[in-house]
Amino acid sequence: MFSRLRRILVAERVTTPSANQPRPRQHNIFEAAATYVSACAEDDEQQSDEAAAWVSPEALSFGVSELACRAVIALARERDESPQTVARSLLGLPAA
């Protein structure tokens, strides 16, 4: 009986995370988006795949969109141009 109880307790200890074990770090939407976009810019497929797995596809899409908006606004301020002009320029489109 004791050996059976000991096996059950040992099995629980193996499957139950202890308080001393660090939990896997959770990434937020913006961290995932920043890592994903920078990895794509550097043509690092492994890193972009890893970042894409940190959050849902919808959350990643939102984060990438927010990053794009902030980047265009920052460049527009730096260049003293409108965000539309900067966005079209980045995409290689003619001025509107």
Mapped onto helix, strand or coil, the DSSP state of residue 70 is helix
Residue 21 has a CB neighbour count (10 Å cut-off) of 8
Kindly report which listed range (6-20, 43-57, 76-90) carries the lowest average pLDDT score: 6-20
**What local confidence, expressed as pLDDT, does residue 83 receive?**
96
> What does the alpha-carbon distance between residue 18 and residue 69 come to, in Å, rounded to a whole number?
42
Considering only residues 89 and 27, tell me which one the structure prediction assigns the higher pLDDT.
Answer: 89
What are the pLDDT digits (tens) for 1-35?
556 556 655 555 555 555 666 766 688 999 999 99
DSSP string, 63-84: HHHHHHHHHHHHHHHHHTS-HH
* H/E stretch holding 56: none
The single residue listed with the structure tokens 């265009």 is 72
